Amino acid sequence: MKFEPVEVSERDDELRQEARSWIAATLPTGSFRPGQGLHGDIHSPEFSRKLAERGWVGMSIDPQYGGGGRSPLERFIVVEELLRVGAPIGAHAVAERQTVPMLMLHGTQEQRDKFLPAIRAGEAYFSVGMSEPNAGSDLAAVRTKATRVEGGWALSGTKIWTSGAHQRPYCIVFCRTEPPSEDRHAGFSQLLVDLRGPGITLSPIHFMDGSHQFNEVVFDNAFVPDSMVLGQIGNGWNQVMQELSLERAGPERILSTWPVLEAFLAGRGTDDDGLDEVLGRIVARLWIIRQMSLSLTQAFAEGSSLRGEGAIVKDLGTNFEQEVVSSLLALIDEVPELDSPERWETVFAEALLMTPSTTIRGGTVEVLRSIVARAARDDDS
């Protein structure tokens, strides 16, 4: 596997300091509810716009579309600092992390002109249209189909889990444009869909803590114009695999529970017996997973795809996110309560309910380990 040490420059350090200062000024502790993972996808158009004004949404978008043309490493640095405090980046996170690169790789000029400046301004929000009731880990079992009509496509089918679809109206929908054949991966495409259009119905799926994050999205002959086909008709499988790899190896899969630790230490204090060892173990693990993530960020910037390596980082990272919470829980005698007046405790309680999701969403660790094992076999040959 290809992991390489990354040395950051002084300019990178300066950017990190700038991000830290801006975040401290814009989101003083206690002034906002820190999100973690699922809830860290806290939808705040206001914050997204502020961040965009600062130039930190869609940092790596080409300047011709209003972007800063910054490197993936620079984006990594800013995103890390945002995740550290649990900043409400939920409105723009998917758009910036996945949609932007997909538009750069596969978008038409018209699509780029329509979406990139809006994403860059923190005003265009995207959700992910992949999973279905009968197609979770097995994405090739997707049944939502688009049939040819005049000027475009009629989309019918059901997507499920679609996080934030009720708040983030644009969606890249993975669907069949050809009937199933011998080749399981043939006949798929991706369509850029506005979920507010006719023939589309959203219903909430409540998470186990009662919150509304997930949705079921039913398409009933919803019209999608030709101009909103992303990439090539029939190339959907390759495209969706690329999109998945974009969301695997970054700090979003490592740091989503970090705010729990910081809140714990600040709010509860540092007197718990055994805290030093637990903290050291967490920090040592974070240190190496971070080095791996940095390595991949650099490699992606240079155009490598590294599927096995991305799966490794997501497996280690999402398990780490759970470990932060479980190892702190092991230190204390009382179960945290959601309605505690102590902020550290409510954040902790929310995390307990949220963390089962980390090793499931975006690719279960079981699937990831299959990918790793296969990559290791290929490496060896």
Partner 1 sequence: MSVDPLESTVADILAEAWNLDAQQRAESEGWSSDCWEMLAKAEMPWVGVSETSGGAGGTIADATKVVRQVGRYAAPVPVAETGLIGGGFAASLGIEVPRGIVSVAVPSRDDALRLDAAGNVSGVLHRVPWGRHASAVVAIADAESGQRVVLLDPAAGKTEERDNIAGEPRDKLTFDKVGVPADNTADCPEEAVDELFLRGALSRVALVAGASRAVARMAVKYTQERHQFGRAVGNFQAVSTRLAALVEESEAAYLASRVLTSRLENETHGKRLGDYEFEIAAAKAATARSAAEVSKQGHQVHGAIGMTREYPLHRFNRRLWVWAHEYGSERYWNKHLGWTLLANGVDSIWPTVAAGRYTS
Q: Which residues bind partner 1 (CB under 8 A)?
A: 1-5, 7, 13, 16, 20, 80, 84, 258, 261-262, 265-266, 270, 275-281, 283-292, 295, 309, 312, 315-316, 366, 368-370, 372-373, 376-377, 379-380
How far, in Å, CA of 10 to CA of 16, rounded? Answer: 10
In whole angstroms, the minimum distance from the beta carbon of 371 to partner 1 comes to 8
Nearer CB in complex with partner 1: 185/369: 369
How far, in Å, CA of 99 to CA of 96, rounded? Answer: 6
Is the Cα dihedral 185, 191, 196, 197 positive or negative? negative
How far, in Å, CA of 74 to CA of 11, rounded? Answer: 9
Nearer CB in complex with partner 1: 178/272: 272
Nearer CB in complex with partner 1: 195/296: 296
In whole angstroms, the minimum distance from the beta carbon of 368 to partner 1 comes to 8
Tokens 């405090």, residue located: 85
Nearer CB in complex with partner 1: 235/319: 319
Nearer CB in complex with partner 1: 61/347: 347
Nearer CB in complex with partner 1: 35/122: 35
What are the E-state strand segments in the chain?
126-129, 145-149, 152-159, 170-176, 188-194, 200-206, 212-225, 229-234
In whole angstroms, the minimum distance from the beta carbon of 5 to partner 1 comes to 4
DSSP summary character for residue 189: E
How far, in Å, CA of 157 to CA of 217, rounded? Answer: 8
Pairing of strands 229-234, 188-194: antiparallel
How far, in Å, CA of 101 to CA of 65, rounded? Answer: 13
Instruction: Please provide the DSSP assignment of 76-144 as one string.
Output: HHHHHHHHHHT---TTTHHIIIIIHHHHHHH--HHHHHHHHHHHHTT---EEEE--BTTBSS-GGG---
Nearer CB in complex with partner 1: 51/372: 372
In whole angstroms, the minimum distance from the beta carbon of 276 to partner 1 comes to 3
In whole angstroms, the minimum distance from the beta carbon of 367 to partner 1 comes to 11
Rounded to the nearest 5 degrees, what angle is found at the Cα of 335, between the Cα atoms of 331 and 340?
A: 115
Nearer CB in complex with partner 1: 120/307: 307
The neighbour count for residue 47, using CB atoms within 10 Å, is: 22
Q: Which residues pair with 158 in a beta bridge?
A: 218
How far, in Å, CA of 56 to CA of 185, rounded? Answer: 36
For residue 337, give the nearest of 346, 328, 325 by alpha carbon: 346
In whole angstroms, the minimum distance from the beta carbon of 375 to partner 1 comes to 8
Nearer CB in complex with partner 1: 226/276: 276
In whole angstroms, the minimum distance from the beta carbon of 303 to partner 1 comes to 16
In whole angstroms, the minimum distance from the beta carbon of 93 to partner 1 comes to 20
Nearer CB in complex with partner 1: 73/193: 73
